[in-house]
Homo-oligomer: A and B are copies of this chain.
Amino acid sequence: MKQQLVFCGIVFSSLLTVPALAQDNSVQLSMGKVSLEFHLSAAGSPEYSVLFDQKQVIKPSAMGFVLKDADSVLYTDFVVRKIEQSSKDETWEPVWGEVRSIRNHYKEAKVQLQQRNAPFRFLTIEFRVFEDGVGFRYVFPHQPRLNYFVVSKELSAFNLTGDHKAFWIPGDYDTNEYLYSTTRISEVDNRKMVEASTDIAVRTAPDPNAVQTPLMLKSADGLYINIHEAALLNYPAMQLHVDRNSFSLTASLVPDAVGNKAYLHAPAKTPWRTIIVSDKAPDLLNSRMVLNLNEPSVITNTGWIKPMKFAGVWWEMQVAKSTWSLSDRADTLDANGKLIPNGKHGANSDNVKRYIDFAAKNGIRGVLVEGWNTGWEDWFGNWKEEVFDFVTPYPDFDVNDLRQYAASKGVELIMHHETSGSATNYDRRMDSAFRFMKEHGYHSVKTGYVGRIIPRGEPHDGQWMVNHFERMARKAAGYQISFEAHESMRPTGLHRTFPNWMASEAGRGNEYNAFSTGSPPEHETILPFTRLMGGPMDYTPGIFKMKGYCWYAPERQMHTTLVKQLALYVTMYSPLQMVADLPENYAAHDDAFQFIRDVPVDWDDTKVIAAEPGDYVAYARKEKGKENWFIGAITDEDSRRLNASLSFLEKGKQYTATIYADGPGADWKTNPEAYMIKTYTVDQSTVLKLDLAPGGGAAVSIKPLTAPAPKGVARYK
């Protein structure tokens, strides 16, 4: 059937005349040291630039679009119809986070452009200038000559002032799980890294000079610049094409199965393009600009959303001690066509109970169980649409018995939904999967998208998958289900709008030390300046057995000291923190494990003590609703001393500080498990001297002294 379409052409006649010029076709906005300048070129092309303390950060840079239709040009021939300026200063409270309340303070300019000639299209550019940076986005107003349209190219550019040092990963449409490269802008070439990263399931990086955001930059004159995006909804992820000669970065949108970038319907808006800048590295880690550029929570009752630590039947599979699958092959069947177990299935009821006991004993709220459901014999790498049904447990996983057992121990089980990239299959089964969860007492789920995406041809980071995750967040909220996504696009602060989307992987996690050659000691000092700028990461810290954990690769080892694993609970912010290692490995270091028992996952306040991307980071954080503080400090491959002033403590109040430090001779490579634990009394005037071993760290828990200090607890000097 195709039927006659009778159209009734309503004409916006008043809007189809040549527009009147506004008084001025430029804007200048400043907040603190940050300034934004906008103007139209003689040709009517929008350009913006950014300054910090009078110094140029972004030179005049292009804006606009190429569309797919006949009138494809939407980047020039504009006049300014109107410029609306306003400002805002508000504070809001996140459902969970690094701080209890967040100030949202900016000046805004809405620049309404219209094309001088037919089709007289409208485009509005919204700028917001904060003390820590600039955000801008495009708005396509409702208008007569732009209804449904396809974006072929976004022209947003970020023209840098020099050949900055860059911390980058390849611009890959399907993964963010690369090691970081630290090079000059003029040296960005991702080909070697893409070829070498055979430990990543799917790699699609057609442009050798493309990088992902958040992109961390440092200029020769000491400016720290971070470029990313905020509120990525109904649009593909933005990557950046690097011009190695002009040091210009241009938006490179992840294409869909047929090469289009975005399907939009006016009125529409893009995500925010963000530039955070300071002359002090810690300021970037303190920035809440990306969160502020996201919309408030769409969930009104958020009481059911709970940050937590969780253990899990997971690391033992990562190190091939057990398997996700019940059998080794889908076709090893008995006479009745039932799978013949391989005897190594991790998610069997007894083993799960072992983890539940471990969690209950140590005050860990959750237990994740992977490999609980049928399909794992044959789940990976076949671009197969119907792999998992998400509702059928393996016969040795007694879902009802475990529900009761976990409840009796005050522990909650965390569901796992691996989709093997088949988002269409998950979409179709989501309701039944969520109903199954609620029927069996599950309130949160970890999802995975390993492998090529179905719909075939769609990449992990394109508009279709962005919309899939928005569907997921909204539907899960309807069931009061929280989730964290693995192999998703990297976050852009959407956890403000969807606080039930608590974390994502979307980066190279601790797990690479299990099944791969791992990540160098500097890795965790770069992540806060890159991947974490967009939102929490499920990094899975807390590995205590530093060597010899992998039978088929005995040479493998962690690339940190044990103490650095503790410090990660503070430096790698997430409302979900895995207690990733095996219970028996924690039992071997129960004194050090005390820090993991104590450290919370939700905070009233956060102070960045010291930070330099690629070298070190140190945070102090105050437990939500308590007077306890926790410090985490980590270094790269170099040993160093970091001084941590405790000036943030309450004046005149005494505290006990338990310091978990790298032991004498500790070294990530040769002696990773050497640590020492000392307790002192401290106060606001104390300055801790934290000595970090190569690849090491320090972790400190600070609690108010309620009684006199116990004997043998000296004052810190």
Contact = CB atoms under 8 A, between A and B. Distances in A.
Interface of A: 1-8, 10, 142, 148, 177, 199-201, 256-258, 260, 263, 265, 317-318, 320, 323-324, 328-329, 331-332, 342, 380-385, 424, 427-428, 430-431, 448, 450, 454-458, 464, 467, 471, 486-487, 505, 509, 511, 514-515, 552
Contact of A455 (B328, B332, B456, B515): B456
Contacts of A2: 177, 199-201, 450, 515
Number of copies: 2
B4 A320 contact: yes
Given A1-B486, A142-B331, A382-B265, A6 B456 contact: no
A257 B457 CA distance: 6
A237 to B, nearest CB: 17
Given A257-B258, A456-B258, A318 B511 contact: no
A515 B4 contact: yes
B7 A380 contact: no
Contacts of A8: 328-329, 342
B455 A263 contact: no
Contacts of A471: 428
Given A4-B318, A263-B385, A428-B428, 8 more contacts: A1-B487, A5-B380, A10-B329, A10-B332, A256-B456, A257-B457, A424-B424, A456-B458
Nearest to A149: B382
B320 A6 contact: yes
A362 B259 CA distance: 54
Chain B CB within 10 A, most for which of A258, A381, A428, A471: A428
A257 B455 contact: yes
B384 A467 contact: no
A78 to B, nearest CB: 24
Contacts of A5: 380-381
Contacts of A257: 257-258, 455-457
Task: Please give me the 5 A-B residue pairs with the lowest Cβ-Cβ distance, nearest first.
Answer: A455-B455, A8-B328, A148-B382, A257-B457, A4-B515
Contacts of A457: 256-258, 455-457
A552 B1 contact: no
A556 B471 CA distance: 46
A472 B544 CA distance: 51
Contacts of A431: 431
A505 B450 contact: no
A4 B320 CA distance: 7
A505 B3 CA distance: 14
Nearest to A267: B331
A420 to B, nearest CB: 11
Nearest to A7: B328
A495 B520 CA distance: 61
A296 to B, nearest CB: 22
Chain B CB within 10 A, most for which of A4, A142, A342, A505: A4
A635 to B, nearest CB: 27
